[in-house]
Structures are given as structure tokens and as C-alpha cells.
Amino acid sequence: MSDISSWFNRVFFIEKLYNLTGVIVLLVFAAIIAGGTVYIGYSFGIMLMFAVFLLPLLYCIVFYPKFGIVILLVMAYAIWKVAPLVPIPIGTVMDGLQALLILGLVIRLKFYKGSEIFKNSVTTVLLIWIIYNFVEIGNPSATSRLSWLYTIRTVGTVGLTYYVYMYNIRSVKFIRMIFVLWLILSVAGALYGFKQEYFGFTPEEDAYLHSDPAIENLLFIGGHWRKFSFFSDPVVFAYNMVMPSILCICIIAGQFKLWKKVVCAFLILIFFMAMLFTGTRGANVLLPAALVLFAILRYNKKMLMFAGVGLLFFYILIIIPTNNVNIKRFQSAFSPNNDDSYNVRKANQKRIQPFILSHPLGGGLGSTGTWGKRFSPGSYLSEFPPDSGYIRVAVEEGWIGLLIFCTMMFVFIKTGIDNYYKIQDPELKTYCLAMTLVVFAYNVANFPQEALVQFPSNIFFYMEVALINITYQLDLELTEKKRKALVLQNTDIYPNMK
């Protein structure tokens, strides 16, 4: 690998193609341009310019994985705005990005090793889950293999990005940069939600809202449109306002500079207001749930008061009389038995239980919801609305799949709690706590909705899981450096000390 890299640097950067290789390369390019212009026409020039830009980009994603990770995270947020500008399905673009990052990981493991960082319980249980999803292609109850192909991308393959994060996020500085990027993207999403709330939708968005009566029935409630910002739907928008809020809460409670805490407090206010615009009741319980676990893990008088003030704020918001449509919908989340849609979901879940118990492998990936209607129209499962992420797993992958999935989530959260108590560095301790609370909140969110299958949640979720382990490993490295520094210091003071 080093020999190839040295040859490449010498030929292209030192000698600048002023050699036999350069002559051959230029002749080949000249022949390609001439032939393409003759047989394809002017469009070939456009394709060539695109390739000139694309090839270096692909190279950077594979061989500079930090750059690739940043591109992936940004694209996860921008996907629905970029989609109309890309001539190929945007989902394929995201698949390609992930494939390139995984390719880069494979190359590094082959030539530079370092696989020992994957020796932990999170890595093992996640690998079992991914393998199980791939084995589902042979499910005898599945009515379509194409539905498996479309579903595996967002259910199983995206989990492989965990290993990319684990291998390539190796410094506190890069973690800080990722969090800053995350908050910037979240603020952009929140501000666009404010724009939709107070200045209306764009003509394209308005056309989408009125393109299907089902969309209008879902998003127009009580004479008010639910906002979705530049995300796929209001649910994804709401959940991606809650998660950065949890990070901000942990920073406020941690050992950080005052100005950072003030900024985070302001961001929480923005995120919370934007979340209300979505009308997503399932998101309203996530912050209180995260605060409860936060108070348990940070058990002391000061933290109990901090969490208590937060819970008191939510309690007042729940009981206060109001005519505001957004706040009324927020309050209804805490009275689910009075909600018709919640009762319908309970009835559907009760109805599907016999099928789950009699099908240990489920009905196959993609057998319900959109893919079920597309690839298995008229089947029993294609007409079943899963609603809950846990119910979808149980129906499509059986009670065996649900057991593996729940075990995996338990291991994620337990590892986060264990690592939080082990980590000594205050900053890394805060980051580990934040990621543990986010993973916990996603698990709560996955009960009323499907929280882990849409962009950007699926991409960021596995990064957050990886950071639970990364923060602990970095803390071990920092502790070892401090120990060695102390030994050297003692050796200078006492020269005869071994």
C-alpha cells in the first residue's frame, strides 16, 4: 500500500505527469474525449465535467474517512432538498456513500489492522442483528424478495456504519467538530420549520401537501398544518429536534464554559418550539423520559433539582389552559387513552399478536407498510399499519427478531451506563452520558413511531451508539498518557527510580 502511494505521489505530484506515464494518461484522455464527442455529443462534455469533480470526491471519501463521515452526516440532513437536483434516486446516493466508507474501512483493516477496537459487546450484538437481517432473505413466509432488498438498506446495511465510526473517530477534537456540525444542521432544520410556520410553504411543498388526500388528512389537523421542515415528515423533524436538545441539556449540566451553556439553553428553546410545530405527540414524552434517566444517572442534590425544574416546566405546560393548537396537541400526548388514533393502534397491535406468536421468523422484511403494498399487494400484512418500530420488527422478523432487537438495545444502553461511570475525563463523561440518553430516547420513540428507519435518524443513531464506546476508549488512552507522564515526572525527580 505504501509503495503504491509513494509511486502515485512521485508521478502525479512531484513529477507532475512530466514522464512516460503522463504521456500515456494524456493520450488516453484525448482519445476518450474525441470518441465521446463524436458518438455522444455535447452531453458528453457535461458528463466529463461531472466525472472530473466526482472522481476526486469518491477518492477523498474512501481514503480520507473523516471527510467522508462529514459528507454522510450532512447528506443525511440535506437528502430531501438534494433529491430533486440529483438525476438518480437519492437513496442510491446514500447507499453509495455508505458503501465507499465501508470500502475504506476494509482497506484499512487489511493494510493497517486495528480490529481490536471492535472487541466489545456492542459490536458483537450488532453484528448478530445485521446477520439476522440478511438471513431473512430466506424467510419461508416472505411473499416477496424484492421487498427484502429495498428494506435491508435502512434496517441492516446502515448498521455497518457503526464500524466506520468506531474505527475513524479517534480524537476528542473530531467529536467536538461532529457535535458542532450536528447542532448547526439541527438549527438549520429548526429555522426552516419556523419559516414554514410563520411564512408558509413553498409552491413545491404546497403542491406535495395537496397531491394526495391521505397526506392532507395526516398533516392537516385542527385547521393547522403540521410542519416538517426539510425532513421527510413531521415525525422525523420532531425527533431530530429532541435529540440535539438532550445533548444541550448534558452540556449545560457538565463542566463547560458559561457561554457554551447559555448558547445551549437558547438552542433548547429553539428546538422545543420547532418540535411543537410538528404536532408529533410521540416526541413530547421524550425529553421528560430522558430527564428521568438523567436524574437517576447523575444522582445528587444539584442534579435532582436541575431535573426537577425541567420536569416541573413540562408539568405546567401539560396542565396549563391554552388555545394554542400546538400546545393543545402537546398536552394530548400525556392522555393517550383519550386519543382515538392511539386506541386504534392498540387494537391493531392486539389483532396482530396471533400472527407474531405463530411466525417466529415473521412475514419477511418489507412485508408491511409501503413496501408491502408495492411488492405484495392484497396480502394480509400489506394492509397492516405497523406504526411502532417494535411492532414492525415483530411482524416482519418474528418474535426471534424482536428478542434480538430488544437485547441489542439493552446492550447499547447498559454499555452506555457502564462506560459513563467508568470514564474519568469530565468532557468525555458528558458526551457518553448524552449519547446514552439519546439512544434511550430513540428506544422510547420507537414504540409509538418508527424512529430508526428514516434519514437522518438512522445515520446518526449508529454514530451515537459508536460514541458510547469511543468516549470510553479515548478516556482509557488519556488515562494511560497521564500515567506515563506521571512516571516520567517521578523519574526526573528521582533518577534512580525505575
Cα→Cα distances 199→196, 227, 271, 469, Å? 6, 12, 18, 43
Please state, in angstroms and rounded to a whole number, the distance separating the CA atoms of residues 29 and 51. 12
Q: Please report the pLDDT score of residue 108 as a whole number.
A: 83
Nearest alpha-carbon partner for 65 in 184, 174, 185: 174
pLDDT at 124: 92
Please give the pLDDT value at position 40.
Answer: 66
Nearest Cα to 282, choosing from 336, 215, 218? 336
Measure the CA–CA gap between 68 and 98, rounded to whole angstroms: 9
Whole-number pLDDT of residue 325: 59
Q: Exposed, middle or buried by CB within 10 Å (0-12, 13-18, 19+), for 292?
A: middle
pLDDT at residue 219, as a whole number: 85
pLDDT at 494: 58
| Cα–Cα nearest to 126, from 419, 379, 435, 463 | 463
Q: In terms of Cα–Cα distance, which of 297, 276, 230, 301 is closest to 437?
A: 297
Nearest to 146 by CA among 156, 137, 154: 137
Q: What is the grid cell recorded at 87?
A: 438525476
DSSP class of 115: G
The CA-CA-CA angle for residues 384, 241, 201, to 5°, reads 80
Q: At what angle do helices 90-111 and 161-168 cross, to 10 degrees?
A: 50
N-terminal to C-terminal alpha carbon distance within the chain: 40
Give yes or no for a contact between 144 and 493, defined as CB atoms under 8 angstroms apart.
no
Determine the longest span between alpha carbons in the chain, in angstroms.
84
Positions of the chain with pLDDT under 70: 1-5, 7-8, 11-13, 15-17, 36-52, 85-87, 112-115, 300-304, 306-307, 310-311, 313-315, 317-342, 490-498
pTM above 0.75, yes or no: yes
Grid coordinates given for 348: 391493531
Residues 472 and 120 sit within 8 Å (Cβ to Cβ):
no
CA 136 to mean position of chain CA atoms = 23
